[in-house]
Amino acid sequence: MGHRGDNANSLYRSNSFSSLGPGRSQLQSFRSVHFNAQQRRFDLLCRTCQYSFRVDEHGWLEHLYWGVRLQPDDDLDFLRHTNISLPFDPIPEKAETFKPHIFVVSDILKRQSRDSNRNTWKAATMMQRHHYNEEASRLENACWRLLAMKQRRLLREREMAEGEGPQMNTTAFIPMTEDERALLFEEAVAKLMNDIADTRLKAASAKKDAWEVREPGAVKQQGEEQTSMSRIPPGLERVGRNTKLLEFSDYGTGDYRIPSFRVMYADGSHISPMLYKTHRVMLGVVPMGCGMPIVGDEFSVQTDAATLIVTLADPFTDLEVDLHYTVYEDFDIIVRRTVIRNKAPRGAGGVTVLKLASATVDFESDAYHFLHLPGEWAAERQVTVQPIVEGYRGVDSRRGTSSHQHNPFAVIARGDTPPEEDRGEVYGFALMYSGNHRIEVEKTETGRVRLNIGINPDHFSWSLASGGSLESPECIMAYSSDGLTYMSQQLHKLIRTHVIPQEFRGNWVCPILLNTWEAFYFQQTHDNIMQIAKEAKEIGVELLVVDDGWFGRRDDEYTSLGDWDVDFRKLPKGLKALVDEVNGLGLKFGIWVEPEMISVQSKLYEAKPEWALGQAGKSRSEGRNQLVLDFTRKDVRDYIYRKLEAILMSANIEYVKWDCNRHLTEVYSRQLSPAKQGEVFHRYVLGVYEVFRMLRARFPHVIIENCAGGGGRFDVAMLKYSPQIWCSDNTDALSRIRIQYGTSLAYPISAIGSHVSTVPNHQTFRHTPLKTRFVVALCGTFGYELDLTKEISAVEKEQLKAMNRLRTRLAPIIFQGDFYRLWNPFDSSSSVAAWMFVTPDRLKALVFAFISFKKSPGRYLPRLRLRGLDPDEKYTVSELVPTTIRRITSVQFAEDPHRPVYQFGKPTIEISGKALLNCGLPIKLEFDGDSCLFEITAHTHIASTQVVLPPGGASSPVLNKRKSRDGPGTTLLALLEEQEIPRSVSSRAVV
Ligand code: GLA
């Protein structure tokens, strides 16, 4: 690995901007980050959208535009003329403190932040320790080697200087102070990063639009032409911060809107103007020093993303802020984060950070709607849309987890009507954080709207000693000019390809599982587990998950959390014997744990009461009769990790359900000083991430399913560790339609934990037809949560077998297809829902429609217009699970389990894509809980996969034996067998 002479110190080769060529020297570009030096403007170019901001005459970052891609030569300077000077708009006396050295590009090249070195190093070593990663461990080794070489060279030089000549003992080291050592170490890191940057450069130039490296001298000359900037150009009004669109709003300097951050200095001052200082660009993503999860793979060469880091500085203090923008060129997504740093010399006094947003986005004056996902236990992520009106609005969590109540996701949609699925500009924000968050929106007198998103500033303070820094979580910002569907599809794809663990990406589909919770609750015994396992195997289940109750003396909710040892009363042969027996049947084995919790009735609490959050001698609250472990403590984390490791090492466990069944109260750590108590909420989350990270690193192939009393911690950060999340404790299919629909706004369907459960449902006591329970669960990870030994008839067992086969066949379309929402169950005028999945090649699709409550018998549903299909294709529409309820007179229904009822009178019809898109499918959903499922296959696809139908038709031996048990709407699930082959194959004349 080579590096270039002068630039040997340069941290990242990619810091340099290349010129776009003669005559356009003002434009510097590095992949998707463009810098127009003359206008001091940054353009971040995504797949179809553009995000632009500039450094204004004061040194503030003025936001200009976020929308569809403009012409490359569009001069956005005119946008500055939108600002109007208002009488009550405070303006700084003068812009004297802003030193416009930004255009001396060599500064950018030379910018060697000690902090970045330190952070990179910290992140590298941390990853190396907790996450096996070849690049990270090579980095560490190489750094040590470089350091050793450097020390030896120094020793030799010293010896030569002292006239002793080189000694033979080349392994000797000279004694060094901590600081000297740190300095050398940083140099070693810098050199190494430079080499890595070289490798990245090579990878980058192998791709189209590779960037060219210019000699610093040449670039410097061009840059030096651009230094006059602290002048307000003629014709422009002087406006203050309060009315400008800003990228990052400081506190106390004239912007009265909700600020992006707030600090308190040792002298009691909160005032901190933040002015542009410098910027740099890197290929790929930048790891977090604190170990928080990020989008992308921290230590791999990721050539589809570039990160712009703009550094702001308070000219009066030593405080700096880095704004990170990672641009994904194949997506309409920018990932933002903020880092705040106290660069004061040692002993100069600390700073307390009271607020730090991950992103601030100011929207120009217009009508907007705000969409967010409030909810509660058993009714998570209920889509709510309101117009944004003057004033302030915040949605947040103060519960220590991202919460059932307010998901860390929101949308701002332009327009005076609610956002639509297929048109209109929408801006989605997903915070990658699992703790207290806040999304705040403010519309001011100018009609402009600000959104801040980040850690909740309530009960938050973070002391930054000199040299210290604090990183915000990342915020994923998605843009769509075509409504909500495209926004969601972008988020789904980004999460599937850049967030969930590598092992579960691509074509991976999770196994069909059976979870024992609703079958046995706390009464899990070796015998009943084995009985259900045998039944599960018979119907085609692939993974058996033993839920709560297998450890300590866990007979109810009052006891044993923390005592992660097998309860031999229930599992007399132990865990390994159970797992082996389950494996022996051909099933994988999974287990439930709740690592963050402690029961007062437990051995752990007896031994370590101080490990629970809370202040000694004061009252504290219990949630689900349990306390929360203080995950800010390393001893607690180490203990819990060792326990989990021991469980996973003790047997062949391939799945873990990590639960968290209460929110935090009395948040106080007995190990932290009084000054650091404001850090407990955030440190808790960092602690949880650490244990997850260690677990992932140690057991990369174990599937972790995250859960928090159902879907109380459904956020992008958790998806970094667990490819799937239990979506809700409510397994009722009709409730699930709304919950899963809301969840789909931000999160991929492949991540939505969904199970078929028994009737009456345990949470709602509702009877829903098995068909509908099946099709709803199909739109997620898919599994079961019922007692197969008692709650299923012989006929139903056959149906479940067919269902599982069907799921296996359809899962790739559900996991990897593009998701389209068609009918909105939150639309107050209806109680129907519909959605569909389309493969990227548009050759296959699945369409689902449901009705939860039939309001009026005579009212027709609209035809279901499909989306995403090729208008020029011919498709076969096959109804996969017909119903058995028919209308026998105009006032009467009857069920005939022997006669399937198809929506179109027959199992398949053939229609053009154009007709499906424009006329739509006529759908009849006749009774509460009715549903239908269509498979749509393009004839091009059929032609390439032609199969011959076996003889036989709709009559099935299973069907004739069928005993109706699952209430009205019982369907001919046995027919699934025949439905698995496209019906139209034998009549393909239409191709
Ligand atoms: C939570 C989960 C359930 C189940 C129980 C066990 O409520 O959401 O699925 O695991 O805990 O106690």
- The full DSSP string for 145-167 is HHHHHHHHHHHHHHHHHTT----
pLDDT of residue 948: 39
Residue 445 lies in a domain: no
- Number of separate domains in the chain: 1
Q: Report helix angle 526-539 to 794-816, nearest 10.
A: 70
Residue 727 lies in a domain: no
Q: Is the CB of 709 under 6 A from ligand 1?
A: yes
Max Cα distance, the chain (Å): 112
Q: Is the CB of 783 under 6 A from ligand 1?
A: no
Residue keyed to tokens 């402690």:
598
Catalytic, out of 314, 563, 630, 659: 659
Residue 319 lies in a domain: no
Indicate which residue's Cα is closest to atom 12 of ligand 1: 548
> Is residue 831's pLDDT more than 70?
yes
Q: Which residue has the higher pLDDT, 106 or 595?
A: 595
Q: Is the CB of 684 under 6 A from ligand 1?
A: no
Do 920 and 863 form a contact (C-beta atoms < 8 A)?
yes
pLDDT of residue 302: 74
Residue 597 lies in a domain: no
Q: How confident is the model at residue 37 (pLDDT cuts 50, 70, 90)?
A: confident
Cα distance between residue 787 and residue 193, in whole Å: 56
Q: Is the CB of 754 under 6 A from ligand 1?
A: no
Q: Give residue 729 CA to ligand 1 midpoint distance, Å.
A: 7
Q: Give residue 434 CA to ligand 1 midpoint distance, Å.
A: 18
Do 414 and 698 form a contact (C-beta atoms < 8 A)?
no
Indicate which residue's Cα is closest to atom 2 of ligand 1: 709
Q: Give residue 644 CA to ligand 1 midpoint distance, Å.
A: 18
Q: Give residue 728 CA to ligand 1 midpoint distance, Å.
A: 9
Atom of ligand 1 nearest to the CA of 707: 8
Atom of ligand 1 nearest to the CA of 710: 8
Domain residues for the domain of 46 are: 33-82
Q: Which residue has the higher pLDDT, 108 or 251?
A: 251
Give how far the C-alpha of residue 295 lies from the chain's centroid of Cα atoms, to the nearest Å. Answer: 8
Q: Give residue 546 CA to ligand 1 midpoint distance, Å.
A: 11
3-state secondary structure 462-525: EEECCCCEEECCCEEEEEECECHHHHHHHHHHHHHHHCCCHHHCCCCCCCCEEECHHHHCCCCC
Q: Is the CB of 378 under 6 A from ligand 1?
A: no
Radius of gyration (Cα) for the chain, nearest Å?
A: 30
> Is residue 107's pLDDT more than 50?
no
> Is residue 12's pLDDT more than 80?
no
Structure tokens at 385: 């849309």
pLDDT of residue 525: 98
Q: Is the CB of 548 under 6 A from ligand 1?
A: yes
pLDDT of residue 328: 95
Indicate which residue's Cα is closest to atom 7 of ligand 1: 709
The sign of the torsion formed by the CA atoms of 253, 259, 261, 265 equals positive
Q: Is the CB of 707 under 6 A from ligand 1?
A: yes
The SS3 assignment for 684 reads helix
Calculate mean pLDDT across residues 731-743: 98
Cα distance between residue 297 and residue 709, in whole Å: 30
Calculate mean pLDDT across residues 957-982: 40
Indicate which residue's Cα is closest to atom 6 of ligand 1: 548
Q: Give residue 36 CA to ligand 1 midpoint distance, Å.
A: 54
Q: Is the CB of 547 under 6 A from ligand 1?
A: yes
Q: Give residue 709 CA to ligand 1 midpoint distance, Å.
A: 6
Sheet of 832-838: strand order equals 818-823, 832-838, 844-851, 931-938, 874-879, 908-912
Indicate which residue's Cα is closest to atom 1 of ligand 1: 709
Which range has highest mean pLDDT (118-127, 135-144, 569-578, 971-980)? 569-578
What are the pLDDT digits (tens) for 455-499?
999 999 999 998 899 999 999 999 999 999 999 999 999 999 999
Least confident of 153-162, 163-172, 616-625: 163-172
pLDDT of residue 850: 97
Calculate mean pLDDT across residues 916-927: 95
What are the pLDDT digits (tens) for 496-547?
999 999 999 999 999 999 999 999 999 999 999 999 999 999 999 999 999 9
Atom of ligand 1 nearest to the CA of 709: 8
Indicate which residue's Cα is closest to atom 4 of ligand 1: 517
Give how far the C-alpha of residue 376 lies from the chain's centroid of Cα atoms, to the nearest Å. Answer: 20
Q: How confident is the model at residue 111 (pLDDT cuts 50, 70, 90)?
A: very low
Q: Is the CB of 659 under 6 A from ligand 1?
A: yes
pLDDT of residue 949: 34
Q: Report helix angle 114-130 to 680-698, nearest 10.
A: 50
pLDDT of residue 199: 54
The SS3 assignment for 115 reads helix
| C-alpha separations of 363 from 238, 471, 603, 711, 817 in Å | 20, 25, 55, 31, 33
Q: Is the CB of 592 under 6 A from ligand 1?
A: yes
Q: Provide CB contacts within 8 A for 871, sequence distance 6+.
A: 912, 913, 914, 917
What are the pLDDT digits (tens) for 396-450?
999 999 999 999 999 999 999 999 999 999 999 999 999 999 999 999 999 999 9
> Is residue 390's pLDDT more than 50?
yes
Atom of ligand 1 nearest to the CA of 592: 10
Calculate mean pLDDT across residues 327-353: 92
Q: How confident is the model at residue 125 (pLDDT cuts 50, 70, 90)?
A: low
What are the pLDDT digits (tens) for 782-822?
999 999 999 999 989 999 999 999 999 999 999 999 999 99
Q: Give residue 295 CA to ligand 1 midpoint distance, Å.
A: 28
Give yes or no: 729 in active site: yes
Q: Is the CB of 710 under 6 A from ligand 1?
A: yes
Portion of the chain with pLDDT greater than 90, in percent = 67
Q: Is the CB of 517 under 6 A from ligand 1?
A: yes
Q: Give residue 518 CA to ligand 1 midpoint distance, Å.
A: 9
pLDDT of residue 592: 98
| DSSP 8-class letter at 864 | B
pLDDT of residue 756: 98
> Is residue 114's pLDDT more than 90?
no
Least confident of 267-271, 440-444, 472-476, 590-594: 267-271
Pocket test for ligand 1, best of 559, 661, 757 (most atoms within 8 A of CB): 661
Indicate which residue's Cα is closest to atom 5 of ligand 1: 548
Q: How confident is the model at residue 894 (pLDDT cuts 50, 70, 90)?
A: confident
pLDDT of residue 438: 98
Strand-pair category, 305-313 with 319-328: antiparallel
pLDDT of residue 164: 59
Cα distance between residue 584 and residue 337, in whole Å: 48
pLDDT of residue 282: 85
pLDDT of residue 27: 64
> Is residue 844's pLDDT more than 90?
yes
Residue 44 lies in a domain: yes
Q: Is the CB of 729 under 6 A from ligand 1?
A: yes
Q: Is the CB of 380 under 6 A from ligand 1?
A: no
The SS3 assignment for 54 reads strand
Give yes or no: 314 in active site: no
Q: Give residue 649 CA to ligand 1 midpoint distance, Å.
A: 24
Q: Give residue 710 CA to ligand 1 midpoint distance, Å.
A: 7
Q: Give residue 590 CA to ligand 1 midpoint distance, Å.
A: 14
* Amino acid present at 415: G
Residue 275 lies in a domain: no
Residue 442 lies in a domain: no
> Is residue 350's pLDDT more than 50?
yes
Provide the Cα torsion 393, 399, 404, 407; round to 10°: 40
Portion of the chain with pLDDT greater than 70, in percent = 79
> Is residue 984's pLDDT more than 80?
no
Residue 45 lies in a domain: yes
Atom of ligand 1 nearest to the CA of 521: 6
Give the chain's mean pLDDT.
Answer: 84
Do 437 and 453 form a contact (C-beta atoms < 8 A)?
yes
Q: How confident is the model at residue 944 (pLDDT cuts 50, 70, 90)?
A: low
Q: Give residue 558 CA to ligand 1 midpoint distance, Å.
A: 14
Q: Is the CB of 837 under 6 A from ligand 1?
A: no
What are the pLDDT digits (tens) for 209-257?
323 222 222 333 333 333 334 455 566 677 889 999 999 999 999 999 9
Q: Give residue 369 CA to ligand 1 midpoint distance, Å.
A: 35
Catalytic, out of 255, 322, 567, 729: 729
Pocket test for ligand 1, best of 547, 718, 784 (most atoms within 8 A of CB): 547
Q: Which residue has the higher pLDDT, 468 or 977?
A: 468
